[in-house]
Amino acid sequence: MIKKFNWQIWFGFLLAFAGAVTYSFVFVDYPALRDFPWTALGFFALALGFLFAGFGRAFAVGSRLRSKIAASIVGLLTLAVMGLFLFAVLIAARWLPESKNAPHVGQAAPEFTLPDINGKPVSLSELRSTPIGGNAPKGVLLIFYRGYW
Amino acid sequence: MRSIEKNLGTFEAAGIRPVAISVDSPEETRHLCQKAGYTFTFLSDQNDEAIRRYDLVHEGAGENGKAIARPAEFLLDSSGVVRWLNLTENYWVRARPEQILDAAKTLETK
């Protein structure tokens, strides 16, 4: 029974899963690897290799129906993981509003007053004028982010 | 944001004050800052006031169909004029600190 275990197909699945997870939690912190998911594609290529090897075994002459079904299910799961990941990173991530009326270079940035993490209101003009380490600031970098819900 | 925190000293030496803005509440934002070790200014825009004024609203993209900000970075000079901006086309792809610091070189103190 141990000898018949189709480890290739399961290893392929693990590789696909590892590719998606490592990109989302590790490589995303390194700009060169984040801007395009090279690491995930590497994992996926290896995963496909093992998937084919696993299919080769499962569908070899004389193999049991059960192993064919199991291999097909794991294979489909592997493809689903890769497909969903690529869809999320390459396609869904581009569904962003156009922001046509966002302030352009050369325009004055709209003023605002918002609470900081202690609930204290802070205005943009304060941010522009409060000294940094004793010197007047040269500028403010506004970073809008999606939030972590 | 992690890369901003890592380069915070460089930003401050260049006279640039980073400020992060999202729709999260001050409490949620405080937890994020504590967990991730962020020490620069974080502001809460729970009613999408600033986000709407900057035309960055991504309707329905948040939890329970809440509007959130699309990711964007704006570099303002000390008079409040936009000198550089980045509206990414893919929210995984964000401005790199080097790009921002390059743009910051053109800023002068008034």
DSSP A107: S
- Give the pLDDT confidence score for residue B91 in this predicted structure: 75
Closest by CA position to B1, among listed A38, A144, A8: A144
Percent of chain A with pLDDT over 90: 57
The yes-or-no verdict on residue B95 having pLDDT over 90 is no
Q: Judge whether B63 lies within some domain.
A: yes
Q: Judge whether B109 lies within some domain.
A: no
Closest Cβ–Cβ partner in B56, B61, B80 for A99: B56
User: Which range among A4-13, A83-92, B18-27, B87-96 shows the weakest confidence by mean pLDDT?
Assistant: B87-96
**Are A116 and B43 inside 8 Å of each other by CB?**
yes
The answer to whether B8 contacts chain A (CB < 8 Å) is: no
Residues 64-103 of B with CB under 8 A from A: 68-85, 87-94, 96, 100
**Are A144 and B79 inside 8 Å of each other by CB?**
no
* Residue A133 or A75, more confident: A75
Q: Where is mean pLDDT largest: A28-37, A140-149, B41-50, B101-110?
A: B41-50
A78, A89 Cβ separation under 8 angstroms: no
Nearest CA in chain A to B101: A141
CATH number where B7 lies: 3.40.30.10
The answer to whether B5 contacts chain A (CB < 8 Å) is: no
Domain limits at B77?
2-104
Q: Judge whether B83 lies within some domain.
A: yes
pLDDT band at B108 (very low <50, low <70, confident <90, very high): low
Closest Cβ–Cβ partner in B1, B45, B76 for A139: B76
How open is the CA angle B19-B20-B25, to the nearest 5 degrees?
125
Q: Judge whether B38 lies within some domain.
A: yes
B42, A117 Cβ separation under 8 angstroms: yes
Distance, in Å, from the CA atom of A72 to the CA atom of A12, rounded to the nearest integer, reads 12
Q: Judge whether B73 lies within some domain.
A: yes
Q: Judge whether B17 lies within some domain.
A: yes
